[in-house]
Every structure is written in C-alpha cells, then in structure tokens.
Structure 1
Amino acid sequence: MASNIPPTEALAKPEDADMLARMGYAQELKRNFSKFEVLGIAFAIMGLLPSIASTLAFSLPAGPVGMVWGWFIASGCIFIVGLAMSDLGSAMPTAGGLYWWTHYFSAPRYRNPLSFLVGYSNTLGLVGGLCSIDYGFALMLVSVVVLATDGAFVPTNGIIYCVFLGCVISHGFVVMLASKVNIMGKMQTVFTFANLFLIAATFIVLPVGRKSERNSASYIFTETANLTGWPTGWAFFLAWLSPIWTIGGFDSCIHISEEARNATLAVPWGILGSIGLCWSLGFLCCIVIASCMSTDLESLLNTPFGQPMAQIYYDAVGKNGAIAMMTLLFLTQWLMGISILTAASRQAWAFSRDGALPFSGFFSKISKRFGHTPIRCVWGCAGLACVLGLLCLIASAAASALFSLCVAGNNLAWFTPIFARVVWGRDKFVPGPFYTGKFSIPIAITACVFLIFSTLLAMMPVSSPDVTPETMNYTIVVNCAVWGGALLYYFIDARKWFTGPKMTIDAEPTEGQSVDAKSDSISGGEKGVDINTSKGAETGDV
C-alpha cells in the first residue's frame, strides 16, 4: 500500500479522485492539465513540421505522391487507432493505461506476461521516442552550423552525440523546474502555438521564395518516383513511415491522465484532437513542401547540409533565410523533447508504482517539493536515453534504431490492449462518456490490422531488399531484444512476484473486481469496472 499520500482534495476534484480510486489507485499526482493542455502535450510531442523534416528520407524516395497521399492515407489509419484508444481511455483513464487495460481484458493465463511485456515495450518505446526526437534535434542543429560555414564544418558522430547529450540533460532540468512551479500544463499551450507559428511561417516563406519555380498541381498530386530498390508500390508504403513516426505521441494523453481534470473526456479529446490536427495540417505541409521543393529528389536526399529540409529552405530563401528557418525548426524540435520526457516519466512511474521496473521502490516516489510529480522517473528516463543514444556513435544505421524502438515498441503497446479487449474482454468493457457504439469492435479490429502492418513496415530495410551492415534496418534486432528480454525476465524471475496492477488505496472493490489480499493486485471480473457516471453505451455513444 502507498503511504504518505497527500490529502486528495489538494490534488484533484472529488469526482476525478473517485474515478481513479475505483481502479484501485490513490490520487498522488496533482491534476493541473486542462482538456486543451492534454491535447497540447500530444501535439507538442508530434511536433508536426520538425517531424516531417526529420523523416523526409522516408517519404521523398516515393516522390510527391508518396509524400502527399502517403501522409493522408496513413494518417487516416492512425486516426482509427486513436478511436480505438479513445474508447479505452475514456472508460479507464490511468497513467499506466496500456498495460493496465491489457491485464484487465486478457484471459487469466495470459494477463500477467502480456501486461509485463506491454509495460516494458511502452516504457522503452517512449524513451526511444525521446532519443529519436533529441537525435533529430542534434542533426538539425549541426546542419545550421554546416549552412553557416558553407560546408566547412563537418560534424562527427561524437559531436552529434555531445549535442544530443546536452539536449537530453537540458530537458531533464526544464521538466524538473517546470514541475516545481506547476506550469507544465500551461507550457503545452505555448508549445502548441510555437508549432502552429512555425507551420504558418513555412506556408509563407516557401511559396514566396519559390514563386517563380513552384511545381504544378499535376506534379504534386500525381508524380511518382522510386529511389529505392523495392517495387514502386512498396516504396509508396515505406513513405507511410513519416506519418507513422510523426503521429506517434497520442498515447501521452493516457500517461498524463492522472494529472488531467475530467480525464474521461480530456483523454479522448486529446487523442483525437492531436491526431486530427496532424492529419489535416500535415497534409497541407506536405502539399506546400512538394510544391516548392526541387524536382531533383536525389539532390535533396544527398544534400551536403545533411537535412533535406535545410536544402529546401536554402533553395527558397537562400543561406540566411535557411539558417533562420532551420533555427526555428530545431528550437521547436527541442520543445518536443520536454513533452515526451514528461509522458515517458509518467509511464515509468506508473509501472514502478505497480512494482514492475527495477528499483521500483525508488522510482515510485512522488516529489512533493517539485509539485507532486515523479522527478526520480524524469531523471531515470533521461539517463536511460543518454545510454541508448550511444548508438549514434556507431553509425547512421545504428542511430536509426532509435526511431525504430519508438515505432515498433509503441505499436505493440497499443495493439495488445485493443486486441485483448476484442478477443477476451468484450463483456468486461464498460463504456465511458466517449464511446463509438456499435462501430467500436470493427474500429478495434481495423486498428489491430493496421498496427500489425505498420510494425512489419517499420522492420523492413528502407533502401532495398539487398542489405549491407550499413543499410540494414535494425528494428527487428532492437525490438526483439526488448521484447525477448522482457519475457525472459518475466518467466525467469518476475512471474514469482508480478501479479499485475496493485491497489494503492484502502477501498472496497467495485463490482467486477476482486482483490488478491496477498499481492494487492487487481483482477477483472466478469462484469467489468464501471468507473463512469454514465451507464454505458446508452448514454455515452457518439
């Protein structure tokens, strides 16, 4: 049982604390996030334009069609995943939602190992997201130096890692200090408007700078290319990796749910709002970039500046303009890291609260001094990111594993609870205020199919099927090591003590729950956990 928990009324409204108590948890974090700020943390993590810039190497080889229509179609599929997640997030909003839902919905013989696997995959996936964001920041920053020196400066892997390291450490301090003065939620609003400002500036700068050289609508919407060794159709699918990586931060709304006011509505609002914004604005961004970029795609991919977007800006507004826009770009990317470190720390804290991570007794402590937030987990996640970032010292192929750890790790964490709900938990699901009604199961099945496909896509070599150590996609190596290691740890040792989510509050079990007195773990019954004031689909359908 948790101890030294502050008075609930100082942290949350009674209805929010009661909702969490029905899931077995005491209110330990302060609910500072409004509905818009929950959306903001996801949108800030996605960092639309910086993310598109960081992943142009995936979309450009398929030409404008791959960039524009690949974005539109893949984003629509991700929105379906968001709908499935929103059903669950509205019904059972908790910081460790993905592994909690997996344990609750899964069959008894599978719930413990699957919950354990999802918790580790999600935690490491979020830390991998921090690594990939900060690595992208390092590449953008050094590209500005290359621009400023007209190519005289040639960054080494060591220099890139040092920039990456400084970025991660700066994020740790900012998250810690912002938590102390309780402004983390308000910062998400600032980050959201910073992203929108960068998008608006690009919408003006690129068309004006290329007014006499803009590409035709036919080129933007119908021109295909294939600069890979794969068939053209598969090259088009590989372009989907850009939106798949970019729109990958929506689960942060779940991890921040115990700090959100009216979480049963704020979580689905944040998930669908952030995905919807990235879907629509990202589509426009891709159109603008495709209309203003050079038609020599190989020169963009092999630019001496190291970043295709730097070359696109340079062609439009020259050296000084490109430096100014790339500076805005990497500053916005830096803001993304603050938000994802916040989300990663909440997932790590929730998993520690349930005793699953090493040194859980240490990391599960909440810091009252820093605004009732898990500061130890903030620095734990930052430290792990610094270690994982050492991959960028090896080679670019190894550094790309930072991106793959994020995509595949989170995909597994999203897929498993949705799958468990469809296969084993249909009768146990009690809808929240947001519910997709009779479409819920078809949406969930479609989401599962897409997540399987996108995971396999993330594991394929990008350049061609004929790989070398330099062109190998190490996603399957990295993620199978994570997944295999987690399962090995479970069956060798953790199965003896990990019994799933644990109660941290002295409360009578709600209908459909049983409390194992020996482990204080929660196991779902046949009727589900009704944590909402609504009575299910009849009052909660949309």
Structure 2
Amino acid sequence: MASTSNSSTENAALAKAGDADMLASMGYAQELKRSFSKFEVMGIAFAIMGLLPSIASTLAFSIPAGPAAMVWGWFIASGCIFVVGLAMSDLSSAMPTAGGLYWWTHHFSTPRYRNPLSFLVGYSNTLGLVGGFCSIDYGFSLMLVSVVVIATDGEFVPTNGIIYCVFLACITSHALIVTLASKVNIMGKLQTVFTVANLLLIAATFIVLPVGRKEQRNSARYVFTETANLTGWPSGWAFFMAWLSPIWTIGGFDSCVHMSEEAKNATLAVPWGILGSIGLCWSLGFLCVIVIASCMSTNLESILNSPFGQPMAQIYYDAVGKKGAIIMMTFLFLTQWLMGISILVASSRQAWAFSRDGALPFSGFFSKVSKRFGHTPIRAVWGCAVLACVLGLLCLIASAAASALFSLCVAGNNLAWFMPIFARVVWGREKFVPGPFYTGRFSIPIAIAACVFLVFSTLLAMLPAGGPNVTAETMNYTVVINFAVWSGALAYYFIDARKWFTGPKMTIDAAQLTEEQERRMIEDQSVDVKKDLVPDLKGVPGGSTISKRGPETGDV
C-alpha cells in the first residue's frame, strides 16, 4: 500500500488527475512532467517549422517554377497540409500519447496487420524526425558558411569536411542546451522565446527587402501570374514541384503529438497546437513568399546559381548590399539554430516512447527517464544526437547524398502520418471515440482527403527536382533511402521482432487503475489479452488483472 501511495503522490506532482487518467486508460503511467501550456505546445511546432529559415532553405524547389508558383504553390499546398492537421487533431484529441502515430496505427489496424504496421510506423517516424533534425542543422551549416563566403567576397570556399564539422558542433550544442534546459525546467518557456524570435525575423525581412528594393520592386502581375520553368519537367509539373517548399517547411506539426505527455490538458492543447502552428505558417508564409517574390531579381538563374551558395543570401545581398546581407543571414541562421533545439526535443520523445514499448535497440537504456533532469528522457536526447551525427556523414559524399536527409524527413514522416489515418478509415471507424476536439460528420472525408494528399506529396518528394534526366549528382535518393528504412524495419520485424514485439506495452501499475480503465483496455483489445493479463480482473467477469511492468525511471 505504501508504494502505491508514493506512486500516486509522484503522479500528482507530474500531472493533474485528468491528464494522468487519460494516459492511464491507454496503459501508460505518467513518467514525464506536464509543464507545457497550450501556447507552448503550439510554440514547439512553430519553432521547428522555423518559417523564414525553412523557406530560405527550400527556395531551390520553388524559384525554378517562377514567382506565381512560389506564391500559389505555397497557398494551395499549405491548405492541403491543414487538412492533414485536422485529421491528426481528431486522433490526438481522442488519444494523446507521445508515441501517438504508431500507437494509433496499432489501435485501429486489423489484428493481422497491427503489429508489423505499428513497428513500421514507429521506425519511419523516429528516423524521419532524426532526419529532419539533420536537415535543419545541415541547413544551418550552409547558411553559416554562406555568411563567411559573403564576408570574404567569395575567397573562402567551404569543403564538405568543413560543413560537416560545423554540423557536428551544431548537433552537440543542441544536445547540451536541451540537457541544461531540462534540468532547470525551462524548455516550455523557451518555445515562447523561439516563437517570438521567428516573428521578429519575419517582421525585419518585411521591412528590409521592400525598403532595399524600393526602386526595383516587381509588379503584382509579375508576382501573382508570372511563371517559369528552369527544370526538365513539363511546366505544369514544375508548379507541383514548388509545393516541396511548404511540404518541408510545415512538417513539424506532429511534434505536438510527441509532447502529449508533457502538455497540460493534452486533449485540447495538442490539436490546438497542430492547427495553430499550421495555420500560422500558412498565413505568414503566404505573406513571406509574396514579399520575397516582390523583391527578388527577375533573373531567376542568377539567384539559383548564387556564388554565396544560398538563394536567400543573394536576395538579401541584392536588396541591402554586403553588410546588410551578412546581418540578415546571421539572424536567419541563428533562428535556424533555434529550430534544431525544438526538433531534438520532439524526436527524443518519439524515440523514448518507442523505447518504452521495447521496439528500439537498447530500449532498456533509452526508455529511462531522468528525475535529476526534470523527469525528461535525457538518454533518448543524446541517442538522437549521436544518430544524427552518423546520418550527417552523408554530407561528406556529395550534395545529392546530403539531400537524402531532406527526403528521409519528408517521406518518412508522411508514411507515419498516413498510416494511422488510413487505419482509422479502413479498419477502425467503430473503435474511434471522439475527444473534445472533433470535426464531426466531416471527419471521415477529411481523413480520406488527407490520405490522398500524403500519397501525392510522398511521390513529389521522390522525384528529382531538376527533371527526369538525372546524373549521380542530380539523382533524388529518396526512394533508395526510404526503401532501405521501410524494408529494413519490416525485415527486422519478420525475422526477429515478431517473436517479441506485440505492440504498445502497459506501464501503469494495476493498483492505480479504476475498473472502467481496466475494462476499456480489454474492450479496446489494444493488447494481447492472453499475454498481458493474468486471472482475477476485479469487476470484469471472466477477466484478468493487469500485470505489466511499472514505470521505469533512472538518473543519467
């Protein structure tokens, strides 16, 4: 009785009863501290999206199709992403948990496929998030060295080795910051700071570019109707390729799901964070690309082939000269650096949740939560950082190989978003019990539309940006990288993991469960009743009492 009382007291210190009860109904004990407010949950997604730095990093996808494709491609694709956010918000409000994507897949899928599909989604999401972390920090490295190139008037020519060293330093700094911020419990508050920093950078750009180009601004007709095609694709398809900019930029909204177990009032905070972050990027991003298209040179090839190695650096340079470009690019890469902190937090929560369910290598080590560092999974933080350093070795090969980090992020996460929504539509309609946020009778049509867009955007991400006639340098390795991830995960499952992976595990102490929670677990059949339960479930005729491992915590 004493241990149960102590555990209840600890849970009360970590979360309010309503949030802890919701998590317990899904089989998990409250191990992380719920310190994120609704705004901070949205903030972590918006910080990861890092609107202007992300647009700057992906201009090479949108500029080749001309200003009209930049502007309208952003608006249309962002609207489609908002539909995906609506579908995910329905699920996250009903069942908010850090490993939500693979948990929902397992919950809604037919018994025959639930284990392999859940395993696949968990690995695709984990590696996709780490790939996103890599691509953000690699983009930071390119921006930083572009400032040096501008400052030396092009005399400094960075090698792949120099870029990788900057990348390593960036990864290490992020892991240290996350560790220290977790120890003093300010990670949630930092998201507000990061959000404000992004908004200030956008405001500065809205002033600097129009003022700097006041004599050379482009007409509204040029911005909204002028098209181009600097690719080898037909003009219509070049327009779709411009969608890759918003697809990559607005790709961090699932971080709200991974922060579910640290969010207060998660059933509302998580969907609000998803839709708020997408909506903010949709509207502000639309204004950003209009301003950029209005102020950039009409010689699109000169922007794409800038000696600074960054189209945005050239746009700033043309507007405000060398010193102004250095200042603006410095603000840009510093904001991109802040993005890396937030995505490391989100990716570590997914890795921790997947380890808690025993699916990742060394799960016993990475599933531990450190009380010393504010009840956070510090081991998972450093595990993701080390994996990012290994994946980042691709940038030593060639720029085409480095772009695989981008493809791993987009296609890997697209699969992870698609599968639970698809499973809910095909197999799980009757099992779905709406949460406080629910789109009602539009829920299924929204989910179907989301699935269609995710398939289409994945295909886009797999095509070479320059056209169908590729070389080793221009090849898009998305198919290769993601096929290796997906086939490797499934091979691992069918060769070995199928013997021990039975889906999400229960970490809740049986003594803490109410009869209703126990009954719901059995009725949901989200666990293997024969394996996970032993006889004498109180209050359930012919049932069993839950007998699973309790929460594991440990200090680093």
TM-score under structure 2 length normalisation = 0.92
Kindly indicate whether residue 43 of structure 2 is the aligned counterpart of residue 40 of structure 1.
yes
Out of 299, 304, 316, the residue aligned to residue 302 of structure 2 is: 299
Distance 1:329 1:449 in 2: 34
Kindly report which structure 2 residues correspond to 1:44-443, keeping only aligned pairs within 5 A, or say none.
44-443=47-446
- 1:513 to 2:524 alignment: yes
Partner of 2:477: 474
Distance 2:319 2:474 in 1: 31
Are 1:421 and 1:429, in contact at CA under 8 Å, matched by a contact in 2?
yes
- Alpha-carbon distance in structure 1 between the residues aligned to 2:11 and 2:321: 57
CA distance in 1 between counterparts of 2:133 and 2:112 reads: 34
In the alignment, the residues of structure 2 paired with residue 377 and residue 520 of structure 1 have an alpha-carbon distance, to the nearest angstrom, of: 26
1:11 and 1:299 mapped to 2: Cα distance? 55
Counterparts of 1:510 and 1:169, CA distance in 2: 46
Indicate if the aligned counterparts of 2:101 and 2:122 stay in contact, CA closer than 8 A: yes
Which residue of the partner structure matches residue 533 of structure 1? none
Call closer, same or farther: CA 1:388–1:315 in 2, change over 3 Å.
same
Report how far residue 66 of structure 1 moved.
1.1
Q: For 1:405 and 1:271, locate their aligned partners in 2 and report how far apart those are by CA, in whole Å.
A: 21
CA contact (8 A) 1:133 1:333 kept: yes
Separation of aligned partners in 1, 2:288 and 2:524: 48
How big is each residue's C-alpha offset from its partner over 1:467-514, in whole Å with a ceiling of 9 and x where there is no partner? 111110000000000000000000000000000000001235243234
Distance in 1 (CA, whole Å) between partners of 2:35 and 2:228 is: 48
Contact preservation (8 Å) 1:22, 1:510:
no
What's the CA shift string for 1:371-415, capped at 9, x where partnerless?
Answer: 000000000000000000000000000000000000000000000
Q: CA deviation at 1:518?
A: 5.8
Note the C-alpha offset of 1:7. 1.2
CA distance in 1, matches of 2:68, 2:528: 55
Contact 2:502/2:528 (<8 A) preserved? no
2:407–2:478 contact (8 Å) kept in structure 1: yes
Say if 1:419 and 1:444, in contact at 8 Å, map to a contact too. yes
Corresponding residue SS for 1:7: helix
Unaligned runs of 5+ in 1: 522-542
Distance in 2 (CA, whole Å) between partners of 1:375 and 1:28 is 13
Residues 410 and 461 of structure 2 are in contact (CA less than 8 Å); yes or no, is this contact kept in structure 1?
Answer: yes
Structure 1 residue 250 displacement after superposition: 0.1
Cα distance, 1:519 vs. partner? 4.3
Distance (Å, rounded) in 1 between the aligned partners of 2:445 and 2:528: 34
- Equivalent pair of 1:172/1:379 in contact (CA under 8 Å): yes
Contact 1:81 1:444 in 2 (8 A): yes
For residues 329-384 of structure 1, give each alpha carbon's deviation from its aligned partner in whole angstroms, at most 9, with x where no partner exists. Answer: 00000000000000000000000000000000000000000000000000000000
CA distance in 2, matches of 1:339, 1:7: 27
Counterpart residue identity of residue 78, structure 1: I
- The alpha-carbon deviation at position 517 of structure 1 amounts to 5.5
Find the residue that maps to 2:97 and give its secondary structure. Answer: coil
Normalised to the residue count of structure 1, the TM-score between the two structures is 0.95
Query: Hey, what does 1:536 align to over in structure 2?
Result: none
Q: Deviations over 1:135-165 (max 9, x none)?
A: 0000000000001000010000000000001
- The 2-side partners of 1:240 and 1:220 are apart by 16
**RMSD between aligned residues:** 1.4
CA distance in 1, matches of 2:423, 2:303: 44
Q: What is the CA–CA distance in structure 1 between the aligned matches of 2:372 and 2:234, rounded to whole Å?
A: 57
Aligned mates of 1:443, 1:19 — CA distance in 2: 25
User: How many percent of aligned residue pairs carry the same amino acid?
Assistant: 84
Counterparts of 1:520 and 1:432 in 2: how far apart (Å)? 26
Instruction: State the distance in 1 between where 2:530 and 2:307 align.
Output: 62
Q: What amino acid is aligned across from residue 229 of structure 1 in structure 2?
A: G
Residues 1:489 and 2:506 aligned together: no
Q: Name 1:537's counterpart in structure 2.
A: none
Q: Secondary structure at the match of 1:109?
A: coil
In 2, Cα distance between the equivalents of 1:302 and 1:467? 18
Give the number of equivalent residue pairs.
521
Q: In the aligned structure 2, how far is the partner of 1:294 from the partner of 1:469?
A: 30
Contact 1:172 1:382 in 2 (8 A): yes
Q: Which amino acid aligns with 1:513?
A: D
Displacement of 1:246: 0.2
Answer yes or no: is the 8 Å Cα contact 1:121–1:412 preserved in 2.
yes
Secondary structure of the corresponding residue to residue 115 of structure 1: helix
3-state SS in 2 of match to 1:400: helix
